Amino acid sequence: MIATIVLLASLLLPLASASRVAVVAGTHGNEFTGVYVIEQLEPAALRRDYPSLRVETLIANPRAFSATRRFIDADLNRQFAGRRSEDTQQLEAVRAAEIEAQLGPKGSAQACDVVVDLHTTTSNMGCTLIVNSYCQLALRAAAYLTQAWAGGGGEAHASQAAAPYLCSVGRAGLTIEVGPTPTGLLRADAVATTQSSLSASSSSLPRSLLGPSGRAPQPPPTVRVYVDAARVPWPAAEGGSRLPGALIAPGLQDRDFEPLAAGDALFVRRNGRVVEYDGESGAVVYPVFVNEAAYYHAQSGAAGVALATLADWPIEDVTPESR
């Protein structure tokens, strides 16, 4: 089980000591699926099956989870880039410092070898691995899973290099997004998808990765990723409504990762007028996080719909030093 962990751990085999792996959920307190999944993990079974791993689990924002809210004061998954103010009273800034003390510090030799952070989205993104260009292990994981995984998953979505995400606390880090699923809800299909991105739905996956010599096989030279190119903010409503001034166009709803051409509909305004994609980020782009509920407002620093472009990122040789 735990394909991703084993996969990443297999890439860590050159390390002499056991690899320390943190599986995190509840970074957004209204995303129940990951919490359900990590509550199911049995420490004794993990120790027995993977003696070379030290797997720990963490509910990152228990206060927000208790309140079924994404966050209390600020998005915890934006707290890990650079220095935080020491005197802030924001619950999530305090919590981020605690998490860094437990799993990091980020960028240090003491940090966890791997942090896998489990998320869900209301967008129809299937199972998306969010990887960062700085993390070659995550790129390898994405490359392997897109090749090996029958279940439609494994899209890789890039984000900024100065990663503010919780998983960046680890020496290697990966975020798994599963959708569409409502927040505050458990669906068996979303749980199963999350588990199968963590577990080997086919037990051959980790074996094939380890190879006959116990070393990871050669990865492909590149992995295809959807790189954020622009954010199209929601049209604002007149009259001070707290709801957006438009709906996602019916032809775009649930079409994450599908091509969108200049002139295609993005939004339908309240007066019925269609807002089209203006072509500014390229003749064809690939929308992601389409109608993610958290992005109606700017609190998460990412309001709107993300327009991505396709790129083939090179996969380099991984050594402990280059991770």
- Chain positions contacting its own copies, by CB under 8 A: 32, 35-36, 39-40, 65-66, 68-69, 122, 180-189, 191, 237, 239, 241-244, 247-250, 253, 268, 270, 291, 293, 296
- Contact between 57 and 23 under an 8 Å Cβ cutoff? The reply is yes
162 vs 243 by CB, closer to its own copies:
243
The annotation status of 31 as a binding-site residue, yes or no, is yes
Identify which of residues 183 and 201 has a Cβ nearer to its own copies in the complex: 183
CA gap 38, 227 in Å, rounded: 29
Q: How far is the CB of 241 from its own copies (least distance, A)?
A: 6
Token pair for 138: 């995550």
119 annotated among ligand-binding-site residues: yes
> Residue 188 CB, nearest distance to its own copies (Å)?
4
d(CA 210, CA 192): 24
177 part of the active site: yes
In sequence order, which ranges of 11-128 are alpha helices (DSSP H)? 32-40, 43-49, 62-66, 91-103
The two tokens of residue 78 are 């934006």
- Amino acid at the residue 245: G
For residues 183 and 252, give the distance between their C-alpha atoms in angstroms, rounded to a whole number. 21
157 known ligand binder: no
52 versus 68: smaller Cβ distance to its own copies:
68
Amino acid letter at 178? V
In angstroms, the CA 231 to CA 266 distance is 12
Tell the smallest beta-carbon distance from residue 248 to its own copies (Å): 6
Which one, of 303, 275, 300, 305, lies nearest residue 290 by Cα?
Answer: 305
**Euclidean distance between CA atoms 290 and 177, whole angstroms:** 13
Taking the complex as a whole, the smallest distance from the CB of residue 268 to its own copies amounts, in Å, to 7
Distance CA 184, CA 33 (A): 9
Beta carbon nearer to its own copies, 44 or 188: 188
Closer residue to its own copies (CB): 65 or 257: 65
Q: Give me the least distance between CB of 212 and its own copies, in Å please.
A: 33
List the catalytic residue out of 100, 177, 276, 292. 177
Residues whose CB is less than 8 angstroms from the CB of residue 149 and which lie 6 or more positions away in sequence, other chains included: 196, 197, 201, 205
CB 176 within 8 A of CB 194: yes
Enumerate the β-bridge partners of residue 173: 115
Q: Which is nearer to its own copies, 103 or 249 (CB)?
A: 249
Which residues are designated catalytic? 177
Bind-site residues for Zn(2+): 28, 31, 119
Binding positions are 28, 31, 119
